Every structure is written in structure tokens, then in C-alpha cells.
Amino acid sequence: MRLNKYISHSGYTSRRKADELIFQGTVKVNNNVEKNPGFRVDVGKDKVTVSGKEIKLEEKTVYVMLNKPVEVITSVDDQFDRKTAVDMVDVKERIYPVGRLDYDSKGLIILTNDGDLTYKLTHPKHEVFKKYFVKVNKLLNSKEIQLLSNGVEIDGYKTNKSKIEVIGKNKGNTDMYVSINEGRNRQIRKMFETVGADVITLKRIAVGKLVLGNLKEGNWRYLTKKEIDYLKSL
């Protein structure tokens, strides 16, 4: 198996990032630096390390959907010993969350050991839209919705255009579906702060055409072959 493919299939990172690590000289095969991404690895015999850490090929590639509750972080581990998304999924393979879903948010999170798919779903250039149900504590007008849809300045950069569909207004709040193709830290919350609104509820309900559906909060399931094929086709 090609060295860059071996690294990505281990779940360590995407194949493109694996190429960078190889060119940088951080990858060794049997304790020898190897800078050729096409180097053939003898699976089960050769020892591959990245920055001194041995990586091994996963027995099989796993794809999982989790309906993450609030107060759960999307990390493999946490220095404050908080519950992680990985803790909530009972599989023997080592899997990783795809992208972010912050501590105070809930909903659909994909976990996998497929590094190439992770890269595809998280890089803005692939324009994979994630859809959220959002409730804010303000009655937003059409001008504010248009402003947010066209992109706003947060943290020194302008967000990409988003899709916003208002579905209800009541008791001083606005309910919406918001779709974005980025995943910057607390992006949706910061977007609405620019128009003086605080997010009350933030729930991811879809990644592309992959939908959360009736999966209960805190539960998980394996993706179907049809869902996996769809994600790989993006």
C-alpha cells in the first residue's frame, strides 16, 4: 500500500496532509525517513511512525452518526475530563469526529477513521453545506437576514454566503434554518452577535443530504452504504 494511503487509512489525517508530512520528513518507515508518498508499505510488517508516534492501519473503515447532546465536546479526549463525542460511541475501532460542534450545541456529528472523507467534509473549497436549526433572542428583520446571508465580518474575516430560512417568530425570538459551508469556531453564534442577537438553541440537522432524522439525542448508529457512498461522492 502507498505510504500516503496507509497514513490516511489509519485515520491519522487526510491523504493530502499525509503528503505534506512525508515531504517535511516527519514520517519514518522502519526508523528510516521516507519522503516518497508512493513508497510501498508492507502492511503488517513495516513499522510506520509520524513525528515519533507509531500508526497502524485500522482493521476496517467505520462511519458513524451521533446525535450529540449539549455539554459534550467534539474531541477525542479533554484535559478537563468532560464527556466527548467519542465516549458516546461504542465501537472497537479508533474513530474521530468530523469537524466541530461546540460544547453548547447539539445534533448531527459524523465520526470515522476515514481521513480522506474527513478532509473532504471539513474543507470549505468542497462547499459541503451543514444545516442547523437556530433560535435567537431577537425578532430579526429582512435587512438583518440579508446581511447575514451575504456574509459578515467576524474575527477579522468575512464569512462565506449562507442560506437562511426564517420558519417562525414568537415571544421576541426568531426560529430559522441556517446552512453554512464553513466550520470556524462558534461561527453561527458570532454571526448573529453582529446583529445584536444571542443564540438560544443551535442544532445541526444535516450535512449535505445526510440528515439526522429521528435519531434520538445521545444515540448513535452506523451510516448505511447509501449514505457512505453519497458522502464519498461529494
Q: Are strands 199-207 and 106-112 parallel, antiparallel or unpaired?
A: parallel
**Cα–Cα distance measured from residue 225 to residue 228, given in angstroms and rounded to the nearest whole number:** 5
Active-site residue, selected from the candidate residues 102, 114, 116, 175: 102
User: Active-site residue 19, yes or no?
Assistant: no
Q: What residues pair up with 96 in beta bridges, in sequence order?
A: 112
Radius of gyration of the chain (CA): 20
**Cα–Cα distance measured from residue 215 to residue 98, given in angstroms and rounded to the nearest whole number:** 18
Q: Name the residue among 103, 72, 63, 64 with its Cα closest to residue 218.
A: 72
φ/ψ of 61, rounded to 5, equals -85, 135
**Cα–Cα distance measured from residue 158 to residue 148, given in angstroms and rounded to the nearest whole number:** 10
Question: Which positions are annotated as active-site residues?
Answer: 102
